[in-house]
Amino acid sequence: GESVGLHLPTLSVQEGDNSIINCAYSNSASDYFIWYKQESGKGPQFIIDIRSNMDKRQGQRVTVLLNKTVKHLSLQIAATQPGDSAVYFCAEHSRGDNFNKFYFGSGTKLNVKP
Amino acid sequence: DVKVTQSSRYLVKRTGEKVFLECVQDMDHENMFWYRQDPGLGLRLIYFSYDVKMKEKGDIPEGYSVSREKKERFSLILESASTNQTSMYLCASRSFSYNSPLHFGNGTRLTVT
């Protein structure tokens, strides 16, 4: 079956540095990807999404890169701030699946050191 | 901004009790979902609904039922709570547009004793 996973379960960065969080997926039919941020005790918060016909998408301080050749997704956070400390996970959807079926990664915990 | 509101942040119930978890969304989304989130297991889909009175089983529907009488409201029901249903429950909604994300509520942490 499909799997959405992460390379690094925990990432520690210095405040002000850039952060890169990675996600690998296995289904070549996946065509829509989402990044979520989940702070302790809260629900997942939508950050940014990207369709498979794009390689890159930018938001406010965040950039998502999609490499379909190696089935890899990354989230880059510029000038990381203490408020960015959270668990980040990716989600993936495949056109061949039920419209409402998503696969979720297990998450990377980002620690921002002041 | 989409707002998905879950009625309770924390609940403590006894084994065998009937438990209702309520969720309301304010964006007129057709699709609503219930997930549970457990350490090491990630997010698992319990049920979803794509329209009023319509529902479909997710990956782990056993021990749960749902109700969607109004478009904005989706309820999760534990008919007879058990300790293995202690978990964080997350409600989400999504529009019918293909490339649209799930929007989550803040979760209900249910403890069954």
pLDDT of A83-109, one tens digit each? 999 999 999 998 777 778 899 988 999
pLDDT attached to residue A26: 86
Interface of chain B toward chain A, CB-CB under 8 angstroms: 4, 6, 31, 33, 40, 42-43, 45, 48, 50, 56, 90, 94, 98-99, 101-107
Hey, how many other C-beta atoms are within 10 angstroms of the C-beta on A4?
A: 23
Ranking A1-5, B67-71, B95-99 by mean pLDDT, the lowest is: A1-5
Residue A34 C-alpha, separation from nearest chain B C-alpha, in angstroms: 7
Quick: pLDDT tens for B16-31: 999 999 999 999 999 9
Which residue of chain B has the CA closest to A4? B42
Quick: pLDDT tens for B23-52: 999 999 999 999 999 888 889 999 999 999
Task: Give A42's contacts in chain B (Cβ within 8 Å).
Answer: 106-107
Burial A7-33 (b: 16+ CB within 10 A, else e): eeeebebeeeeebebbbbbebeebbbb
A17, A80 contact by CB (below 8 A): yes
Quick: pLDDT tens for A60-75: 999 999 999 999 999 9
